[in-house]
Amino acid sequence: MWTLYQHHKGMHYLALGKSLHSETFEPHTVYLALYDNPRNDLWIRPSNMFDDNGGPRGSKRFTPLARIRPLALDESTNVLPFGFDAWGAGRTLNEFVDSYATNKNHLRGQRYVLENLEGAPLATLNTLRFTPELTGLAWLATHPEHRKQGHATLLMFAVMALLRFEQSDMCFALHSEIGIRYYERFGFEKASVDHQHFEKSVAMVASTGQAAAGLDAVLKEFF
């Protein structure tokens, strides 16, 4: 589980954990920038400074906002209703939730959840690790009562940062059913016409350099 913080200047960071300085044994907090920081993505800061009130007028330097964690498959019934209004397709809520018992992407994916500090789930995203360098992102949904507060955006930034922390050249692919504008903020671009296989969604790719091998097959078989 990782805690998401907002720095007093407005930028968001994900704390990965604490580390000891090898010479002084002073604890340091290790954290990832959730935006395109030209200097670096990964930062450390003495933990007493990370936790202090070094913001304006004695406010917190970093304010905890939410937590992110991988979701076990048997916990996902709590978050599946978040997508019912978009993907219910005339079914009852129970029929919709039950349909995931045999849904290939649901079963093979690793879902993440953004929770508030009390542990209530706010937004969820599924990840499909097709190859070591290529991950499909799917099923981004926010609890209908908590939309338009930036939760899906923070979850997307955090999951992409975590996977790129693990694999720096990770390429991401997704099919957007809500147009391309929303996903451009995460570095996604519309894939070339050769990669567009479905009428109801736009294939999009975010890569740090060259698109990953196997991309076309993945985009065809994604649904």
Ligand X SMILES: CC(C)(COP(=O)(O)OP(=O)(O)OC[C@H]1O[C@@H](n2cnc3c(N)ncnc32)[C@H](O)[C@@H]1OP(=O)(O)O)[C@@H](O)C(=O)NCCC(=O)NCCS
Buried b (16+ CB within 10 A) or exposed e, 30-59: bbbbbeeeeeeeebeeebeebeeeeeeeee
Show the site string, 103-142: x = touches ligand X by CB under 6 A, - = not.
--------------------x----------------xxx
Token pair for 88: 């219910």
Looking at 67-75, 88-96, 160-168, 176-184, which segment touches ligand X (CB under 6 A)?
A: 176-184
> 158 CB contacts (<8 Å, ≥6 apart)?
2, 4, 14, 34, 68, 112, 114
CB of 95 to ligand X, least distance (A): 18
CB nearer to ligand X: pick between 29 and 142: 142
Show the site string, 179-198: x = touches ligand X by CB under 6 A, - = not.
x--x----------------
Phi, psi of 46, rounded to the nearest 5 degrees: -50, 135
CB 114 within 8 A of CB 121: yes
Token pair for 190: 């519309």
By CB under 6 A, the count of residues binding ligand X is: 19
CB of 29 to ligand X, least distance (A): 25
**Alpha carbon 102 to chain centroid, angstroms:** 24
CB of 178 to ligand X, least distance (A): 3
Can you tell me which of 177, 208, 217, 220 binds ligand X, judged by CB under 6 A?
177
User: Residue 150 interacts with ligand X (CB under 6 A)?
Assistant: yes
User: Residue 147 interacts with ligand X (CB under 6 A)?
Assistant: yes
Looking at 2-10, 50-58, 159-167, 174-182, which segment touches ligand X (CB under 6 A)?
A: 174-182
CB 100 within 8 A of CB 108: no
User: Residue 148 interacts with ligand X (CB under 6 A)?
Assistant: yes
> 54 CB contacts (<8 Å, ≥6 apart)?
8, 61
User: Residue 86 interacts with ligand X (CB under 6 A)?
Assistant: yes
> 197 CB contacts (<8 Å, ≥6 apart)?
203, 219, 220
Which residues of this protein are in contact with ligand X, per CB under 6 A?
82-83, 86, 123, 140-142, 147-153, 176-179, 182
